[in-house]
Chains A and B, each alone.
Chain A
Amino acid sequence: MAEATATTTTATSLTEISEDSAQYLTFSVVHERLAMSINAVQEIIETPKITQVPMTPAYIRGVINLRGNVVPVVDLGARLNRGALALSKRSCIVLVEVKSQHNSHVLGMLVDEVKNILEIPRDDVKPAPEFGSEIRTDFIEAMGRVNDVFVIILAIDNVLSIQELATLKAITERVNPDGPNVGK
């Protein structure tokens, strides 16, 4: 399973942390490979039953029972305006700690598949392009070059901004009004 892969990779690469590079978790959302800094990742779990929360936009997939705590799950596909993700065997929830003004919250982030953990040298991390990406620019922290392919590194605090998510309005539709309707 994806989870197993992720864990073993962590174990091997933890020994090689150096100051010239940083570690990133990569995963795929609608066939695109994305990355995020490993620091915010708390754990990765298989998708349990997700309870839908009514009257919320599509990017809020629902809530899950994480060892007795109710944790909200954000559908990363819908959040990045690529449509709600279809659940498969490989679907995973990445649990992320997000800081808001006063305190931090744990949020789940539904992705299609967790790939692996990459170590990208600082020199290969380039600033985000001003335009040219389908993803909202403030969602992109940087671009990481991996084997001459650029991977988008998500600015997770913006993607999962509690303040913005809590408005419970379909933000993605506002930004890209002509985009596909992400309703289920």
Chain B
Amino acid sequence: MNMDAARQAFVEEVAELLQSMEDALFALESSPDDTESLNAVFRAMHTIKGTGGVFGYTPIVNFTHEIESVMEEVRSGREPMTEQLVGILFECRDHTGNLVEAIVANDSDENLDLDPELLKAGQQLVDKLIARNTGGTGGASAAPADAQAAAADNDSNQPKYLPVASDAWIIGLDFGPDAFRNGMDPLSFLRYLASLGTIVDVATIPIWPHNHDDFDPESCYLSFRISFRSDADKKTIADVFNFAEDDCNIRILAPESAQEKYLELLQRLPDDHITRIGEMLVEVGALTPQELSRALNSQEVTTDLDTEEDAATKKRRLGEILVEQGSVKPALMEQAVKTQEAARKRLDENRFIRVDAERLGHLINLVGELVTSSAAIRVMVERAGIEDMNEVVDGVDYLVEEIRDNALQLRMVPIGDSLSRFRRVVRDSSKELGKQIDLVITGGETELDKTLIEKITDPLTHLIRNAIDHAIETPEERQRIGKPTTGTVLCNAFHDSGHIVIEIKDDGAGLDADRIRAKAEAKGLVKSEDVLSHEETLRLIFEPGLSTKDTASNLSGRGVGMDVVRRNIEALRGSVELESERGQGTKVTIILPLTLAIIDGFLVGAGQEQYVIPLSQVSECVEVNPTDTSNRNGEHYVNLRGEVLPFIRLTELFRSYNDENKSSRESLVVVRFGHHKLGLVVDTLLGELQTVIKPLGSLFENLQGVAGATILGTGDIALILDVSELATIGQTHRRASSQYDYASPQ
């Protein structure tokens, strides 16, 4: 694997881990003893430390190590989890993120020159951790020295996991009575053993028969306890006694240092290697296959009836047997069981496959081409008039449509993950401002194109910050006006006819229309004689440079926010609406298309060109007489079943007349967007069409009313209309001559 890809994977993994750590910290805030969450925090730090070590990112290893050791203390119950500690851990989490970002960004493989400020910040955090930790156990207070030593030397923390020979293996050999008779010579084993290392000490324990008369000089009554120093692994040592297997009870206990190594290995065991507990232990070398089969044999003897219910308890029994047998230390077995459980849990998560977003993008592009090609085939078949082909083409069309929907589905992710990150924003900034704010998230399971989610995060953050900073009052103020002291910011997402709607609602002060008006006039955005509706006035906050807050705060209020929000959302072919009641709160509604790639469209002809209207916005098509829609004193509305419907004649707006085949009949396509309805008068209706959206590129980024282009089966290009922008254009075109608003669907 190429290093950049590996690093990228590391960054992604870290991001995920930090996210889960944050979630866990939130949980710890309310219930400090939640073991699951404590473990999650520990796991996140531990894994980042481990992976960081693989890359040789010493600063990450050092920093996360500190947190890990503190968490270990808490996890084992030696220390309580306090609110203060959660607070520090939040900071530590952020610092870890910063560290990883900084390190990966300027990773020149050998030279890790980090901003000293960053390292200092890290040290301060560590000091904080230590400070609150004084009087704790020795392990934690010894840690900083450890870390400094590690910082001084890149590799000093490496050998910690390697087996150190100062500790000795303990080998127990209990020879059976028939050992001599079968030609065994205990001494020869010891001699051979000595070739693998140093025998430190041998204790010979004779097990004499109770009755002296039973003593048989040909029987073996000897047991040995050998203290043995060697770098060989367990399997090699066990092989020494291979021949003695049948006549000797062999126990090999690894030295302490090796135990640590096994623990480490167990924790790092890749998921697909985790199967049965015995096999795991063999894999890391803590257990020899012989020991395992012996344990399994004795297990078969003890549990004759292995029913389904027993299967669950069977594992534990194997563990018990292994410990009893003296092959594995209890601590090691505990870790093995833990690793196994964790792996089982992860196995569930493994139903998901991590796929490079670029590959998915490529797939979706290809599907787009496929849609276009199959449309081309249909055109060809129809042109050639081959009857038999129709059925086949229908079949292909159906399949292509299925493939399209499935491919697009691949990129859909629930919006909840990105919404829940706002909990942090709310927590931090409400603390900073001394406000009490609850963030309520609903509809987190609503799915949305991943690329859209990424692009919507910034505008959403901004809106939420606005709500916290401007809208929600201080607790005292809220109490004074009879509101609950804790303010609420509601974040809601749902699907609505091919669009996703995200609402950000607060119960704060609401927008002051008069003040907005005054500001806008001061900035020259509106003239004092202009008549604006309440809604139009509120929309002024989307104009550049308008902020109603007099002093810019840390969070918002510099007047560069809302226009950026609107621009970002409109760049995604979305729209944003605003409702606000003085003193009651504000609701911002963002409406976005579900995907950026392929939509169901409705093809119409106007003039010489063809246009696509997003099918989700088409509510009906009506045939109209040109006399009904012709310009009557500049009036642009028709009577649709008693309802006043404003309309736009595309040929008129686009100045593309087609005099040659001017049909006497026109059609009215009724489209809706948000709460509005609008008629589009077109020459011909050409039917539904799977529309692969091709961007028009930066040349047309200022073009209003056109959202993109698509390639038709004939190879021609049809432009995709942006209905809400068209409405705005139509309105400004007409404002001078006539004044009316859009018809309400009610």
Contacts and interface: CB of A to CB of B under 8 A. Distances in A.
Contacts of A107: 699
Contacts of B706: 53-55
B359 interface: no
Leading 3 A-B pairs by shortest Cβ distance: A54-B654, A51-B717, A70-B694
B433 interface: no
Contact of B699 (A64, A65, A68, A166): A166
A166 B698 contact: yes
B718 to A, nearest CB: 7
B699 A70 contact: no
Interface in A21-68: 49, 51-56, 60, 63-65, 68
A70 B709 CA distance: 7
27 contacts: A51-B609, A51-B717, A52-B656, A53-B703, A53-B706, A54-B654, A54-B655, A54-B705, A55-B654, A55-B705, A56-B700, A63-B709, A64-B717, A65-B711, A65-B715, A65-B716, A68-B369, A70-B695, A70-B717, A72-B697, A105-B698, A107-B699, A162-B698, A162-B699, A166-B700, A168-B700, A168-B702
Contacts of B704: 55
Contacts of A69: 694
A135 interface: no
Contacts of A105: 697-699
B717 A166 contact: no
A25 B654 CA distance: 35
Contacts of B715: 49, 65
A80 interface: no
A51 B694 contact: no
Given A68-B711, A70-B695, 7 more contacts: A51-B719, A52-B609, A54-B705, A105-B697, A162-B699, A166-B702, A167-B702
Interface string A101-133: 000010100000000000000000000000000
Interface string A151-181: 0000000000010011110000000000000
B698 A63 contact: no
B571 interface: no
A100 B698 contact: yes
Nearest to A64: B717
Contacts of B694: 69-70
Contacts of B711: 65, 68, 70
Interface string B709-736: 1010001111100000000010000000
A105 B695 CA distance: 12
A72 B705 contact: no
Nearest to B718: A51
Interface of B: 369, 372, 608-609, 653-656, 694-706, 709, 711, 715-719, 729
**Chain A, interface size: which category?**
20 to 34
A165 to B, nearest CB: 6
B173 to A, nearest CB: 74
Nearest to A107: B699
A156 to B, nearest CB: 15
Contacts of B701: 166
B654 A63 contact: no
B698 A70 contact: no
A72 B697 CA distance: 8
Contacts of B718: 51
Nearest to A62: B717
A53 B700 contact: yes
B519 to A, nearest CB: 28
A167 B719 CA distance: 19
Contacts of B717: 51, 63-65, 70
A167 B729 CA distance: 17
B653 A72 contact: no
A65 B709 CA distance: 10
A160 B646 CA distance: 39
A83 B528 CA distance: 42
A72 B700 contact: yes
Contacts of A55: 653-654, 703-706, 729
A55 B722 CA distance: 13
A38 B654 CA distance: 36
Contacts of B703: 53, 55-56, 168
Given A51-B717, A53-B719, A72 B699 contact: yes
A109 to B, nearest CB: 13
B606 to A, nearest CB: 9
Contacts of B695: 70
Contacts of A64: 717
A56 B702 CA distance: 10
B610 to A, nearest CB: 8
A52 B697 CA distance: 15
A83 B275 CA distance: 77
Nearest to B368: A68
B613 to A, nearest CB: 14
Contacts of A72: 696-697, 699-700
A105 B716 CA distance: 21
Nearest to B712: A65
A47 B134 CA distance: 80
Nearest to B711: A65
Nearest to A60: B699
Contacts of B702: 166-168
A165 B656 contact: no
B724 to A, nearest CB: 15
A55 B702 CA distance: 11
A51 B716 CA distance: 8
Nearest to A48: B715
B373 to A, nearest CB: 9
Contacts of A63: 696, 709, 717, 719
A49 B716 contact: yes
Contacts of A70: 694-697, 709, 711, 717
Contacts of B709: 51, 63, 70
Of B369, B704, B715, B717, chain A has the most CB atoms within 10 Å of the CB of: B717
Contacts of B697: 70, 72, 105
Nearest to A160: B699
A4 to B, nearest CB: 23
A173 B35 CA distance: 73
B604 to A, nearest CB: 14
